[in-house]
Structure 1
């Protein structure tokens, strides 16, 4: 067991200290932050900061109600008559002008004046909120707040007991984030395991290592070490995401009411570890069979497709998360992680499917690691001779 952890520690340190790993791990969050920052900068530079003018012929709008709002991020400027307001608009003192006729709200029609571009959605929405705030001011406080908040639709799933609402919008966003992260982890893990096995097999380092530890300890240690590398990457990406959300929270209303889906995160963690072990086992077996690194990478590229297949069938899963194809992908080991993740965000997954999928995935992962160790040992015993698929299957049958 001590040798097992020595191999894991060696592989972890060997990987995380590589310049390519450091650059890849840091450039992705830094690049995303730069793109988001540039988008915010461009948006802020093009935002019109001038006040929004209005003329109230109904004499019912109280500007102090708007000024007392904590989220009043648009300045509203009242004018006594249209002549003064039109002059301010012509001089560029205001970005646009709303005129409420004396008959308002019957009909609910207003006049809007602007020189070149109309006000953006946030500015328009601010004026709508201002008018709505005045017309519900005399109502009961509880009813007033309910009308200001607008309708809230809550869907209760009787099968799973889950609740879907606007506050759980993060449940829809997270599966796509998990898909992106799993895609990166799959690509990096498969490429690294193929490279490690092929390189060490060619320079015969493996033969020396196998004199002091078993093939299972060697393969298992490398898998655990690579898992630690993947978790390090995920931790850095997750920390970057958390910092970004905390920075954006004061400016994004959805984030202020979002609820962290801990159950979803726990389920994804349970599925991620065996899925990663399955990838590692398959790639080690391929690296032991193919004669060189180039062929191994070609085969690995085809097998990686099995793990990311739900991405290409995303439209079908979105249309009907409980379709027979989605259920089949949930139970199939290589597609289980992404399918469960997407279905959880778009609907509900029955408990029996979750349990059956996880058990099948764990058993398949254990078998993959065991088979990889057996195939690897046979490949080392036949060094210098190509190991055929028939020989590999025969070795597993005789174990």
Structure 2
């Protein structure tokens, strides 16, 4: 029996690890992330020079869009001179009357009036020839004023002026100092990435499991397998193989994410992104995460196997799988609630209820230290449900079900699971 199960295990490993979809998602996606990261850094460094003035006139020209020529009246005397490269696009006028006449003569498209108290209020008035939404653009004058006020300040200093301070708060629930805005963004990114990776790995490998069973039924290969294997040997070999592939995929993804994070913070283009600088990887949750993946995988593997056993075609399988797939991802729809109150009643319920526990607990663990007793209770409930699901899958994964030419009716499933031998089951000699 063990030898047969091991043979099925090796066959499924060799078969599914060569799938183009598995190769792409497991190995190429992390590689593409690194390539994109270094490409972004290269382009960002080529496009900026910290020793040059903060705003180049060409940057202002690029913001004109549908405006061909604009005028301005500087009543606050903040713009000392217009760069030569902007002289044909941005025209200075001594007063509003002169600018309005030029606009009526179509010499300019719009004009701006910088109010006398601009330094106190920042008020600038835009004049249009009529209701033309495409001319509603304040970027040219805003950048011109900013360039003048910035003077010879370089890019690095200007970025620090724009983002002058990083405020700290002490969050009693998390018992740690956090950055008010960027900490929330970092939490969102951490939970989102972890959850998506976990979901993809969990359901992709189980999807392969269900697909392989249905394909073997459709191709009549199952008849050959049943002549040399017991149903349980086939089921056990498939589940173990897909579990190993799923675990390998998750380890590569999470390892790639952690490595990418450490590399990113050393690259100049990423060093001014507060989200990345405040991203805190909770290394201590990794063993718990792997444990939840293994137990959660066993639960959904049993369910997907049962669906594959009773499905008559590839079209029917995914339709049945939706019954337990949708509830499993329900915590994802309460993303904001988990981030705001990870120890609230609903997030705690999601982390305890077996179907939602793998995702619900992962989301909580990503942002807060969950009490050990809650983790133990959640894992015990999840494990008991997985055992029950494996027993149910074993009852459905039988010769007469696998060899059946049609999908059993819903009313027949309880009899197949809890009842005795059906009329079509061969008796032992």
In the superposition, the TM-score normalised over structure 1's length comes to: 0.69
* Mapped contact 1:220–1:369 kept (Cα < 8 A): no
Unaligned runs of 5+ in 1: 54-85, 93-111, 133-148
Alignment match of 1:334 (pick from 349, 355, 367): 355
Higher helix share: 1
Question: In the alignment, what sits opposite 1:5?
Answer: 6
Say which one has the larger Rg: 2
Q: Distance in 2 between matches of 1:317 and 1:113?
A: 41
**Pair 1:179-2:195 in alignment:** yes
Give deviations 1:258-281, integer Å, cap 9, x for gaps. 765232112111111111111111
Distance 1:163 1:172, change over 3 A: farther
* Mapped contact 2:296–2:358 kept (Cα < 8 A): yes
Q: Distance in 1 between matches of 2:235 and 2:50?
A: 61
Q: Distance in 1 between matches of 2:337 and 2:260?
A: 31
Q: Secondary structure at the match of 2:366?
A: helix
In the superposition, the TM-score normalised over structure 2's length comes to: 0.65
Question: In the alignment, what sits opposite 1:372?
Answer: 393
**Pair 1:165-2:166 in alignment:** no
Equivalent residue runs for 1:124-203 within 5 Å: 124=158, 126=160, 153-155=169-171, 157=173, 163-166=175-178, 173-203=189-219
Per-residue deviation, 1:294: 0.6
Q: Distance in 2 between matches of 1:150 and 1:325?
A: 32
Per-residue deviation, 1:359: 0.7
Equivalent residue runs for 1:63-102 within 5 Å: none
Give deviations 1:115-167, integer Å, cap 9, x for gaps. 498878842365799xx9xxxxxxxxxxxxxxxx987545455xxxx643349
Q: Distance in 1 between matches of 2:149 and 2:400?
A: 74
Alignment match of 1:261 (pick from 255, 259, 282): 282
Question: C-alpha root-mean-square deviation of aligned residues, in Å?
Answer: 3.6
Distance 1:243 1:385, change over 3 A: closer
Q: Distance in 1 between matches of 2:159 and 2:402?
A: 73
Per-residue deviation, 1:284: 1.0
Q: Secondary structure at the match of 2:356?
A: helix
Per-residue deviation, 1:327: 2.2
Question: In the alignment, what sits opposite 1:114?
Answer: 147
Distance 1:124 1:41, change over 3 A: same
* Mapped contact 2:329–2:356 kept (Cα < 8 A): yes
Q: Distance in 1 between matches of 2:398 and 2:162?
A: 72
* Mapped contact 1:318–1:346 kept (Cα < 8 A): yes
Question: In the alignment, what sits opposite 1:230?
Answer: 246
Tell me how many residue pairs correspond in the alignment.
325
Alignment match of 2:221 (pick from 199, 205, 218): 205
Q: Secondary structure at the match of 2:405?
A: coil
Per-residue deviation, 1:236: 2.8
Q: Distance in 2 between matches of 1:329 and 1:9?
A: 36
Question: In the alignment, what sits opposite 2:73?
Answer: none
Distance 1:36 1:178, change over 3 A: same
Alignment match of 2:264 (pick from 239, 248, 262): 248
Q: Distance in 2 between matches of 1:266 and 1:260?
A: 13
Per-residue deviation, 1:221: 1.4
Q: Distance in 2 between matches of 1:171 and 1:286?
A: 36
**Pair 1:299-2:350 in alignment:** no
Per-residue deviation, 1:201: 1.6
Distance 1:163 1:209, change over 3 A: farther
Unaligned runs of 5+ in 2: 55-79, 86-144, 421-429
* Mapped contact 2:351–2:358 kept (Cα < 8 A): yes
Question: In the alignment, what sits opposite 1:144?
Answer: none
Distance 1:152 1:116, change over 3 A: closer
Distance 1:250 1:382, change over 3 A: closer
**Bigger shift: 285-294 or 374-383?**
374-383
Q: Secondary structure at the match of 1:326?
A: helix
**Bigger shift: 355-364 or 383-392?**
383-392
Q: Distance in 2 between matches of 1:121 and 1:154?
A: 32
Q: Distance in 2 between matches of 1:286 and 1:128?
A: 57
* Mapped contact 2:342–2:367 kept (Cα < 8 A): yes
